[in-house]
């Protein structure tokens, strides 16, 4: 076993983090999020619609949140087998073997293999490993995780403070009279935090897929209930009702607002999804 050690940390709200990840200002970015975890939300006809949208977009950089979700984008057929992902973002604890916070973690029982599979598909893939708020005193990653021929110089590490306030990010009319709501500091989910960082750094062609960005009034009846190893924060609950420190419904409202003002683009389409579910 050979360890990759990191002795410095980079904050993602510094513009150099994106040079560090080989992103350029004029890149057409496609960021793939964790909504793919829910098997109910990607019926076959909708998958074809999304695959065609990606083909037309022709992104110059594809980022995916976590290697196990990347594998699912391939397995579902949203990404073609010849499509290469450029950057994988993943939480440091996961490369150290922590349990996944997924709807059904047994679906990803061998998730460590995904690191090698993606490196074989794109030998130049960047693994952007992060911690949130306070970095550990030492950061060591087993290079065997990525396969013997992978250039471990492409493993990057950074940390960030994931706290935000709504008033800094969006204008949400239905909450405009709730001062405490707007100003209160809250934790972001990891994927949302990276989208915020991309927006804050000034990238102008950010496209998202696999994020719940239709707003907090999205019908949850089609969503799956979490199993998540019977963790009481998740078990039996749906996406907007999880008992975690993040406000996933508010994140959805913010992303919907950003789509409306053309700060980002959402590849997903609610009407197409509903049509696909009816024809499933």
Q: pLDDT tens for residues 42-62?
A: 999 999 999 999 999 999 999
Mean pLDDT over all residues of the chain? 89
The answer as to whether 163 is a domain residue is yes
CA neighbor of 195 nearest in space, from 20, 5, 30: 30
Of 226, 187, 230, 276, nearest to 38 by C-alpha is: 226
Nearest to 266 by CA among 69, 79, 49, 117: 49
Does residue 91 contact residue 114 with C-beta atoms inside 8 Å?
no
| Secondary structure letter of residue 246 according to DSSP | B
Q: From CA 72, how far away is CA 86, in angstroms rounded?
A: 16
In the structure, what pLDDT confidence band is assigned to residue 22 with cuts at 50, 70 and 90? confident
Q: Are 127 and 115 in contact (CB under 8 A)?
A: yes
Residue 178: pLDDT band with limits 50, 70, 90: low
- Mean pLDDT across 195-213: 93
Query: Is 2 within the bounds of a domain?
Result: no
Look at strands 87-91 and 29-32 and give their pairing: unpaired
96 pLDDT above the threshold of 70: yes
Q: Of all residues in the chain, what percent carry a pLDDT higher than 90?
A: 63
pLDDT at 2: 60
pLDDT at residue 90 is higher than 90: yes
Q: What local confidence, expressed as pLDDT, does residue 179 receive?
A: 64
228-232 average pLDDT score: 90
Q: CB of 199 within 8 A of CB of 263?
A: yes
| Residue showing tokens 């306030």 | 165
Distance CA 220, CA 216 (A): 10
Domain holding 245, by residue range, is 9-278
In a domain, 3, yes or no: no
Please count the structural domains in the chain: 1
Does some domain include residue 160?
yes
Query: Is the distance from CB of 153 to CB of 173 less than 8 angstroms?
Result: no
- Cβ neighbors of 163 (< 8 A, separation 6 or more) are 133, 185, 186, 187, 188
CATH number of domain containing 44? 3.90.1480
φ/ψ of 6, rounded to 5, equals -125, 130
In a domain, 272, yes or no: yes
Q: Residue 145: inside a domain, yes or no?
A: yes
**Structure tokens given for 139:** 């950061």
pLDDT of residue 149: 87
Would you say residue 1 lies in a domain? no
The crossing angle, in degrees rounded to 10, of helices 270-278 and 44-57 is 150
8-state DSSP, 50: H
The model's pTM is: 0.92
- pLDDT at residue 11, as a whole number: 55
Strands 139-142 and 3-6 come out as: antiparallel
Arithmetic mean of pLDDT, 264-274:
98
Residue 259 belongs to a domain? yes
Work out the pLDDT band at 84, boundaries 50, 70, 90: very high
């Amino acid at each position: 076993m050979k360890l990759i050690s990191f002795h410095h940390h980079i904050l993602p709200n510094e513009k150099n983090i994106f040079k560090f990840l080989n992103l350029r200002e004029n890149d057409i970015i496609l960021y793939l999020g964790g909504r793919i975890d829910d098997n109910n939300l990607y019926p076959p006809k909708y998958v074809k619609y999304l695959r065609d949208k990606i083909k037309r977009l022709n992104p110059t950089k594809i980022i995916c949140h976590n290697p196990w979700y990347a594998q699912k984008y391939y397995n579902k057929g949203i990404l073609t087998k010849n499509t290469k992902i450029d950057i994988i973002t993943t939480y440091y604890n996961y490369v150290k073997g922590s349990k996944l916070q997924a709807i059904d973690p047994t679906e990803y029982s061998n998730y460590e293999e995904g690191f090698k599979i993606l490196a074989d598909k794109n030998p130049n893939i960047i693994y952007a490993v992060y911690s949130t708020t306070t970095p550990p005193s030492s950061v060591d990653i087993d290079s065997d995780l990525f396969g013997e021929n992978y250039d471990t110089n492409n493993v990057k590490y950074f940390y960030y403070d994931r706290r935000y306030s709504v008033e800094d990010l969006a204008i949400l009319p239905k909450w405009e009279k709730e001062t405490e709501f707007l100003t209160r500091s809250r934790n972001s989910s990891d994927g949302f935090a990276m989208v915020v960082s991309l927006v804050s750094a000034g990238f102008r062609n950010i496209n998202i897929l696999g994020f719940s960005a239709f707003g907090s009034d999205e019908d949850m009846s089609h969503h799956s209930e979490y199993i998540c190893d019977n963790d009481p924060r998740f078990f039996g609950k749906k996406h907007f009702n999880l008992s975690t420190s993040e406000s996933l419904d508010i994140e959805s409202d913010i992303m919907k607002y950003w789509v409306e003002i053309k700060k980002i683009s959402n590849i997903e389409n609610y009407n197409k999804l509903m049509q696909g579910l009816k024809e499933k």
